[in-house]
């Protein structure tokens, strides 16, 4: 059976190396392994940008810039199996999000840890959109009959909510659509297996390895942005927080800083994980490891930024025009089924 995959990144801030390694790079590998009939929906969820305060004057430009990152990373946008689009250009996302919110329970939304964390850090600007945006994320997924949604572990709850909503509406309207109103996404374990990972990639902050590298982190020393000068990125790595154990080992609990550096080295160089861990295990000179990682990061950024400079606005706009026309057709077909089930359209 053919499979549908959907993924995307927000456009309201600069993306960093953790976004590339955890989301963009895996998508390139997935696209390269697509089988006949498979479809990859790659989009920018620009409507999600308003859940927290954003700079509206730069949003459109950021959207276009971030889409270019995928092309620079190697996404084959000429493939008939790839659909690149902007969420706000497909009105079905907004309508289905409203419909799904009417079948979502307050208790479900209140349990979302993402809402709790973000609302606590933005006490003066908590909006209804921040509370209910998991319904919009569910609409993004269900519109395209997606099986797999490569996301970080922080989105696991939202994926589970999407499954619950799909099952809930399938059961409610089973007499009209015995085959199911929606295709239900795969469970979390199968999502990770599809990504060929035992756990989702989570790159940590260089200055505080107890938390993940973040686009919204005010400590710029802890984050390597994709537009960082390679030399600046190297300096950030050389200043990365480690520990005083004087022995390198892969140990997230006791050596998160060292383990984060090893992870970066493995992912940036496409090296075998076990081989890298074994090579560095027991070595005492942290500076040598930092130097190795800093060189790998500098080489990566130099190559990536060169590729990015070769992506033209004309190429991107042409890609979007084609992708959005195709995505709109699929999304509207799904929405029409829902409208008929709800009595909004004649069945």
Q: Which residues form the catalytic set?
A: 118, 212, 215
Cα 92 to the chain's mean position, in Å?
21
Burial 46-79 (b: 16+ CB within 10 A, else e): bbbbebbebeeeebeebbbbbbbbbbbbebebee
SS3 81: coil
Gap between the Cα atoms of 222 and 246, Å rounded: 22
Q: Which backbone phi and psi does 47 adopt, to 5 degrees? A: -65, -25
The CA–CA distances, whole Å, from 219 to 40, 235, 293 equal: 35, 14, 20
Helices 313-342 and 92-101 cross at an angle (nearest 10°) of 40
List beta partners, residue 57: none
* Residues listed for the chain: 347
Q: Which residues contact 124 (CB under 8 A, 6 or more apart)?
A: none
Please list, in sequence order, all residues whose beta carbon lies within 8 angstroms of the beta carbon of residue 89, skipping any fewer than 6 positions away: 320, 324, 328
Helices (H) and strands (E) in the chain — how many of each? Answer: 14, 3
Structure tokens, 59: 């949003």
């Amino acid at each position: 059976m053919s499979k549908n995959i959907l993924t995307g990144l927000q456009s309201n801030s600069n993306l960093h190396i953790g976004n590339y390694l955890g989301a963009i790079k895996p998508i390139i590998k997935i696209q390269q392994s697509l089988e006949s009939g498979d479809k990859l929906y790659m989009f920018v969820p620009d409507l999600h940008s308003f859940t927290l305060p954003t700079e509206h004057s730069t949003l459109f430009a950021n959207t276009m810039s971030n889409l270019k990152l995928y092309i620079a990373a190697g996404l084959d946008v000429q493939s008939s199996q790839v659909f690149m689009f902007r969420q706000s250009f497909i009105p079905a996302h907004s309508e289905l999000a409203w419909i799904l919110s009417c079948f979502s329970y307050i208790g479900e939304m209140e349990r979302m840890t993402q809402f709790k964390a973000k609302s606590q850090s933005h006490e003066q600007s908590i909006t209804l959109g921040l509370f209910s945006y998991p319904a919009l994320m569910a609409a993004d997924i269900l519109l395209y009959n997606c099986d797999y949604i490569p996301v970080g572990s922080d989105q696991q709850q939202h994926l589970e909510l999407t499954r619950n909503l799909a099952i809930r509406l399938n059961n409610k309207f089973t007499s009209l659509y015995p085959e199911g109103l929606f295709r239900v996404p795969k469970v979390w374990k199968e999502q990770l297996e599809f990504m060929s990972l035992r756990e989702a990639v989570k790159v940590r902050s260089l200055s505080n390895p107890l938390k993940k590298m973040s686009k919204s982190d005010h400590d710029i020393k802890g984050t390597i942005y994709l537009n960082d000068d390679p030399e600046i990125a190297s300096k950030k790595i050389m200043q990365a927080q480690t520990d005083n154990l004087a022995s390198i080992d892969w140990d997230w609990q006791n050596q998160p800083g060292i383990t984060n550096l090893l992870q970066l080295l493995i992912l940036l160089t496409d090296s075998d994980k076990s081989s890298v861990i074994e090579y560095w295990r027991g070595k005492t000179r942290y500076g040598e490891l930092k130097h190795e990682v800093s060189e790998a990061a500098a080489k990566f950024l130099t190559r990536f930024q060169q590729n990015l400079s070769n992506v033209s606005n004309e190429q991107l706009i042409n890609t979007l025009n084609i992708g959005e026309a195709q995505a709109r057709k699929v999304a509207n077909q799904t929405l029409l089924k829902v409208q008929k089930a709800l009595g909004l359209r004649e069945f």
